[in-house]
Amino acid sequence: MSSQQKLFTLDFVCICLLIFLAYCNITVFYNLYVYLQQIGVAADWRGFLIGASSLATIAFFLFASPYLTVGNAIPCAAVGAVLLLGCGFAYLHATGVAGLLAVRLVNGAAVYLLSAACMTLMVARIPAERSGQAFSLYSVALLLPYSLVPALCDVVVPHLPSAAHGYRDMSLLLVPGLAMIWVIGRRRKAAHEEAVKPKPMSLGDMYRNVAVPSVALVLALNAVYIVAFSSLFFMAEGLFLSRGFHDVGHYFTIQMLCMIAIRLCGNRLFDRVRKVRLIRFSFLLSAASFFLAARSYSLAGLYASSLLMGIGMGVSSPALYGLMFNISEPRFKTVNSNLMMLSLQLGNFLGPFLGAAAMHRLGYAGMLDVDAVWCLCGVALCYVLTSRKVDGRGLAAQA
């Protein structure tokens, strides 16, 4: 097998570890609302401060994505890692609204630099015939922190002076991350890959590309799925407490272990089975999970819904990212993969907001029913994606 066909190389492993570390420094803020309450931040500011990081990340994805290339990805990743490290320490000193807002905005910019650089480096090197497998493994690294970090912090943070010390300690993981960035850079130089200069791209080029119906619909599908998941992620503790349980960490552990098992044991499946069919299946299974959770008042029922959700999540992201990679024109493969990260950030921003609104109006069961219906809307979008009016790139063959 030629070097161009190899997937499991040292730089691929380092890229996956880097995105894992980046998302550890996103999910560590799952308790930020409570921390802001503890240090006396007014209730009207708490939600905005939490969302400010995602807003900064979204802004950078919208306006900087065309200019992040393979050639400048290494320095961008290094700057992002250094900024995240600095932000981790800054939370110890920023206690007022202005200081916290500045730290959150820089945090969001750093997340963009590191995560977009990782995606750019990965897309530049994965073989097209193994895109599903590559995104399967990459998404394991990206989503694993959602399971591990809250459980770890629940054990460690009570023994720290404050949650801010946990934010600082998590950021220290980026020190070995900087060493990984150096390794990737050295390997690229050794392979003379920096000599490849892509054709310059403008914001207009990117937005015209996004206007292609199939590209826009895949981005929308990714956002729809993440909205449903993140609304549950940020409201799950309240859901469990409302039903007399305290083991919400076990719910996400079951879910993530199932997801990882699907992706590790069946990762070549994502290159052999039609991707739109896998996406429809994941939305249907996730809808069933939400319907079951809405009607489960026992741990057994809730854990069964977690199992279904884990299978759905195990299938969804690799199929979505692999589909975007396959339908994108060569020039836009990298930028479209980064726009998938943008849609993920949009989902993470909208999910808690919409989930909280649904919960306040309809209760936790009603919120879960709304999430289920939201997933069924994703199924409908899959059929729109492969309809004759949209399908100009052979998507029907993947349905």
Res 3: pLDDT: 41
Res 195: pLDDT: 44
Contact criterion met (CB below 8 Å) for 12 and 122: yes
Q: Look up residue 379 and give its two tokens.
A: 């199924």
Q: Structural domain boundaries of the chain? A: 1-198, 202-399
Res 64: pLDDT: 86
- CA-based angle 319:141:47, to the nearest 5? 95
Burial class (CB in 10 A: 0-12, 13-18, 19+), 284: middle
Query: How are the residues of the chain apportioned to helix, strand and coil, as percentages rounded to the nearest 5?
Result: 85, 0, 15
Res 2: pLDDT: 40
Note down pLDDT in tens along the chain; length 399 residues: 344 457 677 888 899 999 999 999 988 887 887 788 889 988 778 778 887 888 899 899 888 888 888 888 999 999 999 999 999 999 999 989 999 999 999 999 999 999 999 988 888 777 766 666 777 788 788 878 877 887 788 788 889 999 899 999 999 999 999 999 998 888 777 665 544 555 667 788 888 888 899 999 999 999 999 999 888 887 887 788 889 887 777 888 888 888 888 877 766 676 677 888 999 999 999 999 999 999 999 999 999 999 999 999 888 888 898 889 888 888 888 888 888 888 888 887 888 778 888 888 999 999 999 999 999 999 999 999 888 666 545 554 554
Alpha-carbon distances, residue 313 vs 53, 137, 186, 268, 352 (angstroms): 25, 13, 35, 16, 18
Res 165: pLDDT: 94
Superfamily assignment of 1-198 in CATH? MFS general substrate transporter like domains (1.20.1250.20)
Res 334: pLDDT: 82
CATH class of 202-399: mainly alpha
Main-chain dihedrals φ then ψ at residue 2, nearest 5 degrees: -70, 165
Res 106: pLDDT: 96
Res 356: pLDDT: 80
